[in-house]
Chains A and B, each alone.
Chain A
Amino acid sequence: MMYKDKLIDKVFNVINISIMLLVIVVTLYPVIYLISKSLSSVEYVKAGMVYLWPRGFSLSAYEEVFSNELFLTSYRNTIVYTVLGTTINLVMTTSMAYCLSRRNLVFRKSITLLVVFTMFFGGGMIPNFLLIKWLKMYDTIWALVIPGAISTYNMIIVRTYMQGIPEEIVESVRIDGANDIQIFIKMILPLSIPVIATIGLFYAVGHWNSYFNAMLYLDEKKTYPLQLILKEMIVEQDMQGMSSNAFDVVNEQPPSSEMLVSASIVMSLIPVLIAYPFVQRFFIKGVMIGSVKG
């Protein structure tokens, strides 16, 4: 007979909602605090007098960020790197994951082992740097999107998911004459949308936040990504503030590096906040077509 909600279920619901609200407060408060710092006047920030809302409302931090001519360029650059990079990531990762999820693949176990091996052993920065130079990828966009094309970790996640797609479904389509590539594109990919959305998000976030490879492999500031330019702005502000010839102009104190950090966080978070609900839509319930009995 049908299960009907009892009292304990109602109590649980209340507790669950309270937990979620607590999570929201605990994660949101620091973020709001940081945003408020970015909108306050520098003297309040330095004196530590900002707690929740901005004090001495001022957009000086944002003015500083936007007035940097490299800022908008770097924003555009990061968008390009993220889109291009993630696309390459997804194509490479899903194709490999599909192949490794097919139990009949020749050398399947060996290839999997060799691939997993690379998660723990790597040559280090020097050989990788030399390789990039040798391939003439230095100071090009390819140095940012090719070396990290596949994250073994992500690939394993996708492979595990694809392994879970019932074999019978695949077999039924194979009997109808489809080859592996057709099965991959027309059947497996659509069924794997939740996991592809997930790792797509992971990859995109990785590109969005990245700065280290750009720092090593790019020479021209015009091609620098967002995070690198922001880092430079912040450190530059720190240097000016703390060096011996810190001539802070008497009337107009420049925004402190803390404020720039907060402003840069806001600038980085906005796209992230926009992206996630968009990606969430792909976590559709019940993607499996039909159910397999027994």
Chain B
Amino acid sequence: MMINIKKDKVGIPNRKRSLAKEIANQKYLMILLLPSLIYYIIFRYVPMYGLIIAFKDYDFMSGIMGSPWVGLKYFKEFLQGPYFGRLIRNTLKISITNLIFSFPLPIIFALLLNELKNQRLKKLTQTVSYLPHFLSVVVVVGLLKQLLSPTSGVVNKVISTVTGGDTINFFMEQNWFLPMYVSSGIWQELGYSAIIYISAIAGIDPALYEAATVDGAGRWRRIWNITLPSILPTISILLILKLGSLLEVGYEKVLLMYNPSIYKVSDVISTYVYRAGVQNANYSFGTAVGLLNSIVAVILIVISNKVSDKLSGNGLW
């Protein structure tokens, strides 16, 4: 019943018609497309000339065009820096863990919500669950610190009664950084990330479910055969995009959570650039690293798009 997007043959332009005729044929589409195209050109492509800062020693008085070229100097500095391996390793560890744990949970949550019969409980849970998204990361880390404090936090009070006085200094222990980072992220984003799946599920024709129940399908059959396939395009696209941002672990939350004793596992690319860049407003360095990130992201997206395309027929393009 779901039309496979890629294999559909409706409306592919007949190559024998000339291009101009085709455009004329689609003039209404063109009109509709024009404002957004202009937007992308002016506000996204024009500023891209700034990327050349990565290859220059940016000097604000000479401007972007007048600054001297230094080629790959800053790329080398980053790639050959003493912490490069560690930064990449930490960034990837955090991203991949997030992917494994934080990606499926909102989907599962949306599916479970869909199975709730009580509409009021459903609405209440949805509304409450997405509140933490609106708390700033400063507040969330502050709450986490209070909760896990070795001197006054609830968690450690429980731990010390169980272990007879020992407490865990969570923020100083290397092994706890990743679990804290990921689980606080899940807590904060579960409800909000689920919204998109909830809305996708809401678009499914209830007649499909009725028909399936009449045919004797149980809950799990219904989920497997109706719900999941219907939201598969959404899941695929979001997964591809997530994979593309594998190197992008934001600096704000890590900055609030780390301290020198756990730099080894928590220092990521963005925090390092923040420290190195903040000191000297070194835009060249920051831009170079950003450019590297972007290139890797594109490679990852191209690969995952191809894979998703082959497996499920869904792709970004």
Residues of A within 8 A of B (CB): 1-3, 6, 9, 12-13, 16-17, 19-20, 23-24, 26-28, 30-31, 33-34, 48, 92-93, 95-96, 98-99, 102-106, 109, 111-124, 126-128, 131, 146-147, 149-150, 153, 156-157, 160-161, 163-164, 166-167, 171, 179-181, 184, 194-195, 197-198, 201, 205, 209, 261, 265, 268-269, 272-273, 276-277, 280, 283-288, 291-294
Contact = CB atoms under 8 A, between A and B. Distances in A.
A294 B47 contact: no
A122 B129 CA distance: 33
Given A24-B129, A112-B317, A157-B237, A201 B195 contact: yes
Contacts of A3: 212-218
Contact of A106 (B22, B203, B215): B22
A118 B40 contact: yes
Interface in B168-225: 187, 190-191, 195-196, 198-200, 202-208, 212-219
A20 to B, nearest CB: 5
B132 A283 contact: no
B131 A291 contact: no
Q: Is the interface of A mostly helix, strand, loop or mixed?
A: helix
Given A20-B116, A102-B29, A285 B202 contact: yes
Interface of B: 1-3, 5, 8, 10-13, 19, 22-23, 26, 28-29, 31-33, 35-37, 39-40, 42-51, 53, 64, 109, 112-113, 115-118, 121-135, 138-139, 143, 146, 152, 187, 190-191, 195-196, 198-200, 202-208, 212-219, 233-234, 237-238, 241, 244, 283, 286-287, 290-291, 294, 297-298, 301, 314, 316-317
B291 to A, nearest CB: 8
Contact of A95 (B23, B33, B199): B33
Given A26-B187, A27-B191, A285-B202, A268 B134 contact: yes
A265 B234 CA distance: 32
Given A105-B26, A209-B134, 18 more contacts: A20-B113, A20-B122, A28-B128, A92-B36, A103-B8, A103-B10, A122-B44, A149-B39, A160-B233, A166-B3, A167-B10, A180-B32, A181-B31, A194-B199, A198-B199, A201-B195, A261-B139, A291-B207
A104 B33 CA distance: 14
Given A3-B218, A20-B125, A285-B206, A167 B3 contact: yes
A197 B199 contact: yes
A161 B200 CA distance: 8
Nearest to B54: A124
B121 A128 contact: no
A47 to B, nearest CB: 10
Contact of B294 (A28, A103, A120, A164): A120
Contact of A118 (B45, B129, B131): B45
B11 A103 contact: yes
A105 B33 CA distance: 10
Contacts of A115: 40
A16 B112 contact: yes
Chain A CB count within 10 A is highest, among B26, B135, B203, B287, for B203
B47 A123 contact: yes
A114 to B, nearest CB: 7
A104 B317 contact: no
A147 B216 contact: no
B129 A153 contact: no
A16 B301 contact: no
Nearest to A153: B241
B131 A27 contact: yes
A144 to B, nearest CB: 13
Contacts of A123: 46-51
Contacts of A280: 123, 126-127
